[in-house]
Structures are given as structure tokens and as C-alpha cells.
Amino acid sequence: MKVALYARYSSDNQRDASIADQLRICRLHAEKQGWQIVEEYTDHAISGASLLRPGIQALIADANRGRFNYVLAEAMDRLSRDQEDIAGLFKRMAYGDVKMVTLSEGEITHLHIGLKGTMNALFLKDLADKTRRGLRGRVEKGKSGGGNSYGYDVVKRLDANGELIRGDRSINDAQASVIQRIFRDYVAGKSAKRITTELNKEGIEAPTGGTWGFSTINGNPKRGTGILNNELYIGKLIWNRQRFIKDPDTGKRQARPNPESEWIVQEVPEMRVIDDTLWQAAKERQKSCQIVRSNSTTTQLWERRRQKYLLSGMLQCGCCGGAYTMISAAMMGCAAARNKGTCDNRLNIRRDRLEERVLHALRHHLMDPALFAEFCAEFTREMNRMRGDAGAAITAARAEIAKIDRDLDMLVNLILRGGAADKINAKMVGLEARKKELERDLAQAQEPPPLLHPNMAHHYRAQLDNLYQALEHDDENKRFEAADVIRSLIEAILLVPEGGELKIDVRGDLAGILAIAVERKKPASGAGSKRSATSGDLISRQSQVSVVAGVGFEPTTFRL
């Protein structure tokens, strides 16, 4: 029997030796059972509350490929502590005909999944409750409840028994002076963008160690985030303002606000760095700015969710990689240059002129008939090759299955005639296993994709003309739909300063172009090895196409 070993330790037990210990006792058990160990999977310092772990994901993938018959771990909680995850893992292993065995519980059954899964889930909840209880006790003593704020240093010292005292902080004088400067500048009328630009120009490090952004200063007043909203600066420690819940699909934590009645507020005057007068002046200015923004917002939520302009979110600065955004009613500029002062690109461009040039490029450069005809021919040749390779493999697999069926019939006849049943049974078991493997491969085999029609280029041009006409349509919904389709043809637009003017590099998405051309959501792409088909015949002065068969299509780039 082939067996895979799995070991894990969580962040509350930071010992790599734990992994070695788990694997050692699992190896001893496998040797006693006469099992062959084919692979060992490990996850270091990762909680068992989620299956989003590299080790367990690799184990699941190899189990589906039939690499082993058993999964051996020290205990069920090493595999997962979540009820839903352990049940899903059990189902996946059962589907792959793989049994789960642990040293503590033995072979895992549905009964273990129900009872032990519930116990592990309760253990997690109990651990979380105890952790929060300990943090609350620390906060009520005026100590840190976890994490640290800009302007303070973590103090590490030992008590009389040599134990580490946790939660102590001290004021960082250099960072405290930056905080005071931010409050003074904000009260004096400077915007958060201007403040961040000045800080970045002077080379002052942000809380994250990089460059400052205006959101670091403004933050969210309701959540208490941002420099201007941190009440620790006036000697007030607030804990349990929000809680975090894991998204079951992504495993990422999502913040949820707690009612104010559940907040824990503790006075810590020794942590004060801002006086009450300056704090209140900053709060008054925040309120006045919020009133102005709320009065100027007249659009509905569903209107704000749409992209306001045709190329919104697709424009990038060729110097720093930041976004190009609206800096006035008609002009666009580099956001990093204006909001952070970290980019030297100060060249602007009119939005309507930019859109006009990009649309002209899509219509006349990106879809050159000769270029696309060559692309279609190369794609067809590649698909024919892949179609032949895939077809040959499928034919060979089906022929081998037919031969196995004939061999099994022959072995059955030998048994009926009095042949050696033990040897024949062993041979039959091997043939049956090979047949299952071939049938599984055939079930997972993908049919080769359909080929491109030779007149696709002309069809695409007609479709694109219809989209341009829809952009001028009186119906707003039709205009938005046409704009969304055109946006799907563009991957990114780089604005590069050269010779005192902006040059426009448009990266067109060939996958989107083919989707328009064949009137489907996604283009067909075969499964196979990567193969470059770029040649001198595919390159012209204004456009260049690179075809990669098997993994989709690389963007085409051209200069305006």
C-alpha cells in the first residue's frame, strides 16, 4: 500500500521540531504496517482553521491523481479543525479512493467526522474566547491589545521570574514629532494629499516603511483608522472597536464594526502626543470636509458603480506604474506625482483626445487584416498539431482499454479451466487498476478546441463598427454595454513621457478580440505546451502580435 504522510503545527506552537516529531512517529507506524511512503506533506506555522494551506492543497491534488492509497497523520486536528473543511476533505479522499488514517483515531469514518469535527471546532472557539479574555485583561491595565501604532515603540522587558512582560509601549519621539506636524498642517488648511507629498519629498518613512499615501492620514473616522483618527494620540486606548471574520471562500479576514457599547475604553495619559485643542480643531475640519463632500454627491449608488469614463482604471504612468487619473474637468495626470510626489512625470493629456486616439488605434491598427490573417493561419496550424497529438493519445488509451478487456476475458476463462487462481487474480487486479487509470484519464481529457474561421477578421471589423455606433446611441444602457465590450479589448494603456510629450502604448487583449470575433465570451484555447509563433512576418511598424498556444494569448502592443 502506498501512503502519504501529513504533518502541521499552528502559529500557537512555533516549533519546527513538532513537524519532525509527527513525521517520525508516522514513519514508524507505516513501517509496522508494511506501507510504502511515497510523499510527505507539511504546513509550518499555519492554523488548521482553513484548508488554504500549500501542503494540504498539494496532498489533495496528488490524491486525485492516484499517487497513494492512504493518508497518515498524527491526529485529525492536524488535517483540519474546521467542521466543513474536514468533511470536504473526507469526501475528496473518498472520491479518489484514498483512506484517511491517524495514529489517535485509527481509520477515519463518518462517525469521526461528525463527533471529532465538532470537538475540534469547539476547541477553536474556546481558544479564541480565552485569547480575547487575555487581551481584554491586558487592555484594562492600559497595555497594548495587539499590534502597534505609528509613534510608539514596543518595550520588551522581563519580570522578576524572567518571564517576558507583554503589551508595554513607549513614545517614539521622532515619529511623535511627525504626527504633531501632520495635525498642525491639517488644521492650518493643508490637504492630506499635500501633506503626504511634502513628507515623501523629505524622505520621511511612512508607518509601513514605504511612501506616504493620503489614506494613511485620512483613514476611516468610523473605524478609527488613519493618523487623524487614532485616539491613542490623546491618551485614550480603545479596544474591540471591530472584529474580524474569515471569508469561507477566500480565507481572508473581513473587518466588521462592533457596537459602541462593546468597546473597551481605557485612559492612558502617558501615551498622549497631541493636546486636546489641536485634536478638536482637526475633528472640526474633518466634519466640515465631510459635509462638503456629502452635499456635492448627487449620483445614486448604482450610477457610481459604473466606470465614469471609457478608459477609467486602465491608464498607467510609464515612469512609476501608478494610475493616470482626472486632475481637472478635462485633463488627466499621474496620481503618484500629484498625490504622493514620488514621480517626476508632470505631463498631462486631455481625456477626450486620449480616448479618440485609443479608439482610432483599435479600429485601424490593432485589427490590421493582413496581420490577423497571418495570426489565424498560425493559430490553425498550431491547433491542428495539438488536435493530432491529443487525438493520438486518446486513440491509444482506448485501444489499450480494449486490449485489457480481452486479457481479462482470457484470464477468466483460464480460471474456469482450473488455472492457478492466486497468480491469475494478481494479474487481474493489476489490469483492473490500469483500466481505471486509463478511464480516468479519458474522462479528464479535453476535446481540442474548434478552429478559427478564415473570415474572422472581416467579421470582427463589422462587430467593432457596430460598437462605435452604439457609443453614440441615445440609449444610455446601450452606450454602457458598448463601452464595457471595448474595455474588454484593452489590457492596459501606458503613458510614457518622451521628448516633452506623452507617447501612448496600448496593450490590446487578443483574447477579448477573439471573443468578439467568434461571438462568445471567451476564446477557445487548447491544452498543450507553450509554443511561440512570433516571426518577422507578424511584425509591422505599428503593431506586434505574439501567439502562445496552450495558455491563451499574449497582448499586442502598439505605439501611438
Question: Which tens digit of pLDDT belongs to each residue from 86-136?
Answer: 888 999 999 889 999 999 999 999 888 888 778 877 887 887 788 778 777
With a pLDDT cut of 90, the percent of the chain lying above it is 17
**Residue 365: predicted pLDDT:** 60
Which of residues 415 and 251 earns the better pLDDT score? Answer: 415
Residue with more model confidence, 100 or 437? 100
pLDDT above 80: residue 270: yes
The per-residue pLDDT for 464 is 63
How far is it, in rounded angstroms, from Cα 379 to Cα 368?
16
Indicate the average pLDDT of the chain. 76
Span 224-246, mean pLDDT? 86
pLDDT score for 526: 37
- 368 pLDDT above the threshold of 80: no
3-class secondary structure, 236: strand
In angstroms, the CA 409 to CA 545 distance is: 55
All three cell numbers of 194, joined, read: 499635500
C-alpha cell belonging to residue 548 = 502562445
Q: Please report the pLDDT score of residue 457 as a whole number.
A: 58
Residue 479 has pLDDT above 50, yes or no: yes
pLDDT at 436: 86
The residue that leads in pLDDT, 118 or 477, is 118
pLDDT of residue 498 exceeding 50, the answer is yes
C-beta separation of 376 from 455 below 8 A: no
Q: Which residue would you say has higher pLDDT here, 425 or 152?
A: 152
Higher-pLDDT residue of 292 and 34 is 34
Give 373's Cβ-side CA count (13 Å radius).
5
What CA–CA distances, in Å, run from 531 to 53, 258, 499, 507, 535?
A: 32, 54, 38, 21, 12
pLDDT over threshold 70, residue 181: yes
301 pLDDT above the threshold of 70: no
The more confident residue out of 263 and 374 is 263
* 169-171 and 253-257 strand pairing: unpaired
Phi, psi (degrees; rounded to nearest 5) at 417 = -90, 5
The 10 Å CB-count burial string (b at 16+, else e) for 378-411 is bbeebbeebbeebeeeeeebeeeeeebeeeeeeb
Note the pLDDT of residue 522: 36
What domains appear along the chain, each with residue ranges and CATH number? 2-131 (3.40.50.1390), 170-298 (3.90.1750.20), 310-386+452-560 (no CATH)
Task: Give the three-state DSSP class for 504.
Answer: strand
pLDDT at position 340 is: 79
| Number of neighbouring beta carbons within 10 Å of residue 319 | 17
Work out whether strand 490-498 and strand 315-317 pair parallel, antiparallel, or are unpaired: parallel
User: Does residue 503 register a pLDDT over 70?
Assistant: yes
Per-residue confidence (pLDDT) for residue 547, from 0 to 100: 26
> Which H or E run includes 70?
strand 70-73
- Average pLDDT (229-256) is 81
| Residue 473 scores a pLDDT above 60 | yes
Most confident of 291-300, 379-388, 451-460: 379-388
Predicted local confidence at residue 192, as pLDDT: 87
Answer whether 153's CB lies under 8 Å from 170's CB. Answer: yes
Point out which residues pair with 253 in neighbouring strands: 246
Q: Does the pLDDT at position 230 exceed 80?
A: yes
Please tell me the least confidently modeled range out of 92-96, 246-250, 383-387: 383-387
For the chain, what percent of residues have pLDDT higher than 70?
A: 71
Q: How confident is the model at residue 559 (pLDDT cuts 50, 70, 90)?
A: very low
Could you tell me which of 533, 200, 267 has the C-alpha nearest to residue 381?
533
**Residue that wins the pLDDT comparison between 195 and 245:** 195
Residue 549 reports pLDDT greater than 50: no
Higher pLDDT, 534 or 372: 372
- Check: CB of residue 241 under 8 Å from CB of residue 113: no
Alpha-helix runs per DSSP H in 65-189: 76-79, 83-95, 110-140, 173-187
42 touches 22 (CB < 8 A): no
Name, in order, each residue with C-beta under 8 angstroms of 162's C-beta and a sequence gap of 6 or more: none
